[in-house]
C-alpha cells in the first residue's frame, strides 16, 4: 500500500524554525513529484512547495526565502525546513504526491497531516 | 496567480439528489483541473483529475466536465458518505491554487 506519514509538527514561537518530515512507503519519493500543501484552521487548502524528480523546486510567494523543500533518497523521505515562522504559517501541513510526472497532474496520495502552531 | 472561485460556498441536499458544484478560473487553465473531497479531520481525497477523468476507486456517480475557465463537478445520486467539503484545484501554472471550498450538507 502506498502511504505518506508526516511528523515534526508542534508549537513554535514566532521567528522560530521547524522541520517537517514525510516518510513514504510503497513508492519512491525521488521518482515522483512531491508537494507540501497546508490548511489553516477552518480555512481552505494552500499549495506551499514542490520538488521535481530532477531536484528543481518551486515555492508559493508566501513562503519563498523562508521554507526549503528537500528529500533524502536513502530514507525515502521528504522534508520541509521552515524558518522565520509567522503566526500566519499556523496550519496543518500535508505532503502529497502528484499522480504522474506530468507537470500538470493532480495529487493522488496525501499524508494524514501534521499541525504547526506558531504562537508566543 | 490564477484565482479559483467555487459556487456555491455551501449547499444542502438530500440522499439521492443530484448536485452540481461549479469552479471558475480567472484565466484559462486548459483541462488542468482536479476535484478533491475532504471530510473533517482528514486529508483531501482525489476524485477527478484532468477535468473529467475519474480517479481509480472513486464511484462512478462522481463526474467532472469543463475546460478553459469553467468546470463542474456532478454527483448524480448523493449517498450518505458524500457529505463533505469539495475543492477544485488548478495545476496549469504555479502557484497551484485551490477554490475556497463547497460544503455539502445534509438537508
Asked if pLDDT for residue A79 goes beyond 90, the answer is yes
Contact residues, chain B, for A60 at CB < 8 Å: 95
pLDDT in tens, A28-56: 999 999 999 999 999 999 999 999 999 99
Q: A 100-119 residues with CB below 8 A of B? A: 103-108, 110-113
Confidence (pLDDT) at A104: 86
Q: Taking CB atoms and an 8 Å limit, are A106 and B100 in contact across chains?
A: no
SS (H, E, C) chain B: CCCEEEECCEEEECCCCCEEEEEEECCCCCCCEEEEEECCCCCCEEEEECCCEECCCCCCCEEEEEECCEEEEEECCCCHHHCCEEEEEECCCCCCEECCCEEEEEC
Interchain CB contact of B49 with A (< 8 Å): yes
Q: Taking CB atoms and an 8 Å limit, are A58 and B94 in contact across chains?
A: yes
Candidate from B55, B89, B98 with C-beta closest to A108: B55
Q: Taking CB atoms and an 8 Å limit, are B100 and A60 in contact across chains?
A: no
Residue B14 CA to chain centroid, in angstroms? 18
Asked if pLDDT for residue A102 goes beyond 90, the answer is no
What average pLDDT does chain A have?
A: 97
Amino acid at each position: 500500500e502506498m502511504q505518506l506519514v508526516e511528523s515534526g509538527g508542534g508549537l513554535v514561537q514566532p521567528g522560530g524554525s521547524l522541520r517537517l518530515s514525510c516518510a513514504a512507503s510503497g513508492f519512491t519519493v525521488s521518482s515522483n513529484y512531491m508537494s507540501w500543501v497546508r490548511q489553516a484552521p477552518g480555512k481552505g487548502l494552500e499549495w506551499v512547495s514542490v520538488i521535481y524528480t530532477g531536484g528543481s523546486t518551486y515555492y508559493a510567494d508566501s513562503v519563498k526565502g523562508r521554507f526549503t523543500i528537500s528529500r533524502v533518497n536513502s530514507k525515502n523521505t521528504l522534508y520541509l525546513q521552515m524558518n522565520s515562522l509567522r503566526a500566519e504559517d499556523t496550519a496543518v501541513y500535508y505532503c502529497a504526491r502528484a499522480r504522474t510526472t506530468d507537470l500538470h497532474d493532480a495529487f493522488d496520495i496525501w499524508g494524514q497531516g501534521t499541525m504547526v502552531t506558531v504562537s508566543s | 496567480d490564477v484565482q479559483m472561485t467555487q459556487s456555491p460556498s455551501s449547499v444542502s441536499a438530500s440522499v439521492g439528489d443530484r448536485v452540481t458544484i461549479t469552479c471558475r478560473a480567472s484565466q484559462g487553465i486548459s483541462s488542468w483541473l482536479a476535484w478533491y473531497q475532504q471530510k473533517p479531520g482528514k486529508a483531501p481525497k482525489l476524485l477527478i483529475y484532468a477535468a473529467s477523468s475519474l480517479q481509480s476507486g472513486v464511484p462512478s456517480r462522481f463526474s467532472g466536465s469543463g475546460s478553459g475557465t469553467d468546470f463542474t463537478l456532478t454527483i448524480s445520486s448523493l449517498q450518505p458518505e458524500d457529505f463533505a467539503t469539495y475543492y477544485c484545484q488548478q495545476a496549469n501554472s504555479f502557484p497551484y491554487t485551490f477554490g475556497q471550498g463547497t460544503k455539502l450538507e445534509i438537508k
